[in-house]
Amino acid sequence: MHVTGHTRRPASIRDVATAAGVSYQTVSRVINSHPGVKPDTRDRVLAAIDELGFRRNATALALASGRSRAVTVLTADTTHYGYASILRGVEEAARAASHTVGISVLESADETAVAAQVQRAADTGGGLIVIAYDPAGVRALGAVPAGLPVVGVVETPASPPGEDRPWVWTDDHEAAYEATRHLLSLGHETVHYVAIPSSTRRTSARTAGWRRALRDAGAPEPRPVQGGWGPQGGHAAGLKLARDPAVTAILCGNDDLALGVLRALHECGRAVPGDVSVAGFDDAPHSAYLTPSLTTVRLDFTGLGRAAFALLHGVLEKAAQIGPRPVSVPELVVRESSGPPPATA
């Protein structure tokens, strides 16, 4: 069989140089935003790049600059809303900066297994972003070799970390505080809490914010119910709480837990919000479309991912001051699932 015609090869850096009437070294300086290029020369090179459809090759750029343009994200989960949104933010920001992103899923929290996986990620070059919301992620962040560029996406620290820890986080403590205050302001005597696990300590930032709001209001402090991460755990916790007629308000550590709690209350004949008010956390996409729609706290996880990459990019380019960075102000989103307690409704 004879093949007619041919496929046009991609334009090279030398093709751009020829079209612009400059050396290929000058094209390289323009691509890498080197300041020592005359404005009219830069304009000619950029015009040639557009005309030829030249695409920068990440491997070639890494070889030319001596810097890798690859980033690896280590995470124990890619499906939960917060994790997935962080990954999206990292990818968006990396793509805009012509970096590639790889994902390494931590399948175990075993110390040896985590250390081996961190070393494999380090061997690929570039920098690392570690989502440390769980034991595997926390262990991975601690196992990164000294001197390797790394940024941690962490739970709200109990105290300000040192300047040598380039971390980003959302203010979960303040978010839980505001959500609890909202439920108390409706007239509820207290607010029960279905908790997510803490990655670093016995009491998570969300649990601490909930408890502080109760103490500031002089309200009783019920014991938190451990719910895990998903709807199944929320359902089990909701069945326990539904049996107590004194329970009139429940804050859940995430929206998936709230989904399970809502189902349990329905099965037990407890109306929401007529008998019990429910609030979630994260503002996952399904929250606005539940029946009733879910009052929750909106956190910008995608923005958190972008911030994590921006900090790492600055470290890689030696252009940023390394230090801790809280990111995003939580926003309380009031919907149908919260209202006054039965006695005042």
Q: What DSSP state is assigned to residue 295?
A: B
- How far from 190 is each of 52, 148, 279, 282, 331, CA to CA, in Å? 66, 47, 13, 22, 22
pLDDT of residue 59: 40
Pair type for strands 296-298 and 331-333:
antiparallel
Cβ atoms of residues 129 and 122 within 8 Å: no
Question: Whats the size of the chain, residue-wise?
Answer: 345
Q: Roughly how many angstroms between the first and final C-alpha of the chain, as a whole number? A: 81
User: How far apart (Å, rounded) are the C-alpha atoms in residues 181 and 111?
Assistant: 40
Q: Which amino acid is at 159?
A: S
Q: What 3-state class would DSSP assign to 19?
A: helix
Per-residue pLDDT of the chain (345 residues; tens, 9 = 90+): 444 444 456 777 788 889 989 987 788 777 765 666 788 888 888 888 888 877 654 444 444 444 557 899 999 999 989 999 999 999 999 998 889 999 999 999 999 999 999 999 988 878 999 999 989 999 999 999 888 899 999 988 877 776 677 889 988 899 999 999 999 999 999 999 999 876 655 668 889 999 999 999 999 999 999 888 889 999 999 999 999 999 999 999 999 999 999 999 999 999 999 999 999 999 999 999 999 999 999 999 999 999 999 889 888 877 555 555 556 678 999 999 999 999 754
Q: Which amino acid is at 6?
A: H
pLDDT of residue 202: 62
User: How far apart (Å, rounded) are the C-alpha atoms in residues 145 and 138?
Assistant: 14
Task: Return the closest-CA partner of residue 167 out of 299, 323, 300.
Answer: 323
Burial degree of 118 (CB within 10 A; 0-12, 13-18, 19+): buried
17's tokens = 């140089």
Diameter over CA atoms, the chain: 86
Q: Who's near 52: CB < 8 A, 6+ residues apart?
A: 11, 15, 16, 19
